[in-house]
Amino acid sequence: MTGVAGTPETQTGMRTTGLRALLRDRPIIPLVGLLVLLVAAIAVAQPTSVTPSWAGVMIRQAIPLSLLAACQTITFLTGGIDLSVGAVASMTGFLVATLVGHQGLAAAIVIAMIAAALAGAITGIGVGVFKVHPLIMTLGMSLVVLGLANVWQLIMVQTGAGVPSELRWIGSGTFAGLVPSSLLVWLPLTAFLLFMLRRTGYGRLLYAIGDNPVAARLSGARSWQVLVVLYVISALLAGIAGFLFAGLTNVANVNLVDSFVLPSVAAAVIGGTSIMGGRGGISGTVVGALILTVLSSLLTVLGFPEAVRQVVFGAIIVAVAAAYTRVTAES
């Protein structure tokens, strides 16, 4: 997965054990192993639960999360982060649900995506041109988006809101009761992202800027343009994820996706993308999102409350980030 990112740093003279080298060069293999382990744990805790339809449910829940995590992945590559994904995704889902009655579905989706792109462009300008730290910029932007969505909610309160049936189908429907229909959205998007990161000059620029911004600038990269486009892409992805979340839960709410922001960061970190930039990729992130969904399900099966889930997720991020920092450190 990290073929592109197979940077010279992996050729340090450090003597490494097999596991370390594996984690460093092919993180996807131990990740899949971890996933299998978690599924086995659920099978032990509740033997009747692991069925094909259960797998379908897991995948259906992991798909929107993996799109949000893709936002984190591509922004991580440049050394950034996008914490506004929760607000943007909630906003697009809510906009479509409130607009669909008057405007029709297609127009509602277009309007929601334009709003998302606008938020992304402003974030990108803040990060790229004004050099605001992405974390501060995206947190501030999520306040702005959330506030505006709330104002919109007050305006629209008379008309009411309902998630259109098309979104419900794409978000929570299945083919033959098994294969989630959200794959129709997820497959092309993920293929596009894989292609973008591995095969296009733009993808290389993302790695270059994250790996060494000065070298990237000296070799002619206009980093501010790259960053503006990047945050627009990220906001659009978050917007699409918002449709899926609204369809999955059949809820249109301005806070719907907020609780998925940290898991999206966690999925990208677990997937082996470095928050410092320059290393990682989408495929690890997808496995990371699956791992978190299964882990969440395991904690539910074991009867832990939401609070414990938060603690566990936070602890996992620190632990996994520490492990990656250790195995990839040049020393």
Partner 1 sequence: MTPAAAPVAAGRGLAVGALLRRNTWSLGLLAFLFVLLAFTKLINARYDLTGIQNLGISILPLAFATVAQAIVVISGGIDLSLGALMALLSVIAAAMMKGQSEQFAVLVVVGVLLLGLVLGGVNGALAVVTRVPDIVVTLAMSFVWGGFALLVLVRPGGASAVWLKDLLAGSLFTEAIPKAAVVLVIVVAAVWIPLAPSRLGLSIYAIGSNRLAAFRSGVAVGRTRILAYVFAGLFAALGGISLTATTGIATPVPGPYTLNSVAAIVLGGVSLAGGRGGLVGPLIGVIILQLIRTDMTFLNMNTNLATVIQGVILIGVVMIGSLLELRRARA
Where along the sequence are the contacts to partner 1 (CB under 8 A)?
81, 126, 130-133, 135-137, 139-144, 146-148, 150-151, 154, 262, 265-266, 269, 275-276, 305-315, 317-318, 321-322, 325-326, 329
- Shortest reach from residue 31's CB to partner 1, in Å: 18
- Shortest reach from residue 43's CB to partner 1, in Å: 27
- Shortest reach from residue 292's CB to partner 1, in Å: 13
- Shortest reach from residue 64's CB to partner 1, in Å: 20
> 36 vs 157, which CB is nearer to partner 1?
157
**103 CB burial (10 A radius; 0-12, 13-18, 19+):** middle
> 110 vs 144, which CB is nearer to partner 1?
144
Around Cβ 331, how many Cβ atoms within 10 Å?
5
- Those residues whose C-beta lies under 8 Å from the C-beta of residue 320, and which sit 6 or more positions away, are 266, 269, 270
CA distance linking residue 287 with residue 277, whole number of Å: 19
Helices H, strands E: what count in the chain?
14, 2
CA distance linking residue 100 with residue 108, whole number of Å: 6
> 40 vs 329, which CB is nearer to partner 1?
329
CB 247 within 8 A of CB 169: yes
Q: Alpha carbon of 261 to those of 33, 242, 288, 313: distances in Å?
A: 25, 12, 14, 12
> 139 vs 184, which CB is nearer to partner 1?
139
CA triple 31-35-39, angle to 5 deg: 170
> 113 vs 317, which CB is nearer to partner 1?
317
- Shortest reach from residue 297's CB to partner 1, in Å: 18
> 199 vs 326, which CB is nearer to partner 1?
326
Q: What is the DSSP letter of 119?
A: H
- Which two structure tokens, joined as six digits, stand for 241? 């994820």
- Shortest reach from residue 260's CB to partner 1, in Å: 12
